[in-house]
């Protein structure tokens, strides 16, 4: 998905950004289709704000689980602490601050996702069960990429898993990075760095799950939240200081995602809705103040959803998949067609 996104969208979108002088997805679609009615801008803003609120809530929920695992803090308190930290440091900075913190957080994430599975495999050299045996013990079809299905059903299972990759094409907090590249000539270099980071990163996350399953055993996760597998594995395999550093890599992933989503949602509301759609002429100082108020409001809504998810026992993956599919289906197809099919038009 990451590779397709960089190949299909990045370079052309950066050129279009320069051509139409835009900084946000709603603004780009508005100018690209000459939407004098402002309907595209309005609905794009509503979609981004709605789904990103759920997406950010998942990051808050995840931070609560990590803090609970590390410090035995009650989940609800952990969620509140995580939300407060993310909201405050997003308020203190801006897009440039988020870009630099994402760089540092990305380094932490890369170290966690590459070194932890290697340490795990070394530890498992003396394990009584192989990975395949652990998967079979967890379920008779878990060792199969098609979940035991055959024929058309197997194809459906595989395509269903791969469909997650198409969501990358329409994630505003990822796509906006292409629009913000300083020079269109830098796209190829950025694409190379992103792909070289993503391949070991995604593979490492997958391997951490397998190592945790084999190390703890399938029965262990019948009574323990499976979404806490990574911090639990780090505390078991690594010295406390190193484990803390690596777990901070997981927290970094949540923070880098949440702050980007808060900023994109805020820019959609303040710039695309209030400034452009409502036609309010605001000074830069007032726009900054309004943006900060919007960040707090969106953060509080996301915090409320995260607390409800914890109380109702919902898992993080379910919330993320809901937001991911909503954003991906809303913006992915239209961006690809807009950039690659010149005949695309809008009718209102």
Q: How much is the pLDDT for 307?
A: 92
Here the CATH number for the domain that contains residue 121 is 1.20.1730.10
Distance of CA 203 to the CA centre of its chain: 16
Tokens representing 310 are 């914890």
In a domain, residue 149? The reply is yes
Q: What is the mean pLDDT of the chain?
A: 82
172 falls within a domain? yes
CA 146 vs CA 1, 166, 225: distances in Å:
20, 19, 25
Q: What is the mean pLDDT of residues 50-63?
A: 89
Expressed as residue numbers, the domain containing 308 is 2-340
- Overall domain count for the chain: 1
Residues 214-223 have a mean pLDDT of 78
In a domain, 28, yes or no: yes
**58-72, 156-170, 277-291, range with the lowest pLDDT:** 277-291
Most trustworthy range by pLDDT among 110-114, 251-255, 298-302: 298-302
Contacts of 13 (CB under 8 A, 6+ apart): 28, 175, 178, 179, 335, 339
Helix (H, G, I), strand (E, B) or coil at 102: helix
φ/ψ region of 52 (left if φ > 0, alpha if ψ in -120 to 50, else beta) reads: alpha
pTM of the predicted structure, to 2 decimals: 0.79
User: Is 19 contained in some domain?
Assistant: yes
Find out whether 134 and 217 touch, Cβ atoms under 8 Å: yes
Q: Which residues contact 122 (CB under 8 A, 6 or more apart)?
A: none
DSSP state, 167?
G
Specify the pLDDT at position 345: 57
CA distance 153 to 130: 28
117-132: pLDDT as tens digits: 888 888 887 766 666 6
Q: What burial class does residue 40 get, using C-beta atoms within 10 Å of its C-beta: 0-12 exposed, 13-18 middle, 19+ buried?
A: buried
Has residue 253 been placed in a domain?
yes
More confident position, 246 or 143:
246
In a domain, 21, yes or no: yes
């Amino acid at each position: 998905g990451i590779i397709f996104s960089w190949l299909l969208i990045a370079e052309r979108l950066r050129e279009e950004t320069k051509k139409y002088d835009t900084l946000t997805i709603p603004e780009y679609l508005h100018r690209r289709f000459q939407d004098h009615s402002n309907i595209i801008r309005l609905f794009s803003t509503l979609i981004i704000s709605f789904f990103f609120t759920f997406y950010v809530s998942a990051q808050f929920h995840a931070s609560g689980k990590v803090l609970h695992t590390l410090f035995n803090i009650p989940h609800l308190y952990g969620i509140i602490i995580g939300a407060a930290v993310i909201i405050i440091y997003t308020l203190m900075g801006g897009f440039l601050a988020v870009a630099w913190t994402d760089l540092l957080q990305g380094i932490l994430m890369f170290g966690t996702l590459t070194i932890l599975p290697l340490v795990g495999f070394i530890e498992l050299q003396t394990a009584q069960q192989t990975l395949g045996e652990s998967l079979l013990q967890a379920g008779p079809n878990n060792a199969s990429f098609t979940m035991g299905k055959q024929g058309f059903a197997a194809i459906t299972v595989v395509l269903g898993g791969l469909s997650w990759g198409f969501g990358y094409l329409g994630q505003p907090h990822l796509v906006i990075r292409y629009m913000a590249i300083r020079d269109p000539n830098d796209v190829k270099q950025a694409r190379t760095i992103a792909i070289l980071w993503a391949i070991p990163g995604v593979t490492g996350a997958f391997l951490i799950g397998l190592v945790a399953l084999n190390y703890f055993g399938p029965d262990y996760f019948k009574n323990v939240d499976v979404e806490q597998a990574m911090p639990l594995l780090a505390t078991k395999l690594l010295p406390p200081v190193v484990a803390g550093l690596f777990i901070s890599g997981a927290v970094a992933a949540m923070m880098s995602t949440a702050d980007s989503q808060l900023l994109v949602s805020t820019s959609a509301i303040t710039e695309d809705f209030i400034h452009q759609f409502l036609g309010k002429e605001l000074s830069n100082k007032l726009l900054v103040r309004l943006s900060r108020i919007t960040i707090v409001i969106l953060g509080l809504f996301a915090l409320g959803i995260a607390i409800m998810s914890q109380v109702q026992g919902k898992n993080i993956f379910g919330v993320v998949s809901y937001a991911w599919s909503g954003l991906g289906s809303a913006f992915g197809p239209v961006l690809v067609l807009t950039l690659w099919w010149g005949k695309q038009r809008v009718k209102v």
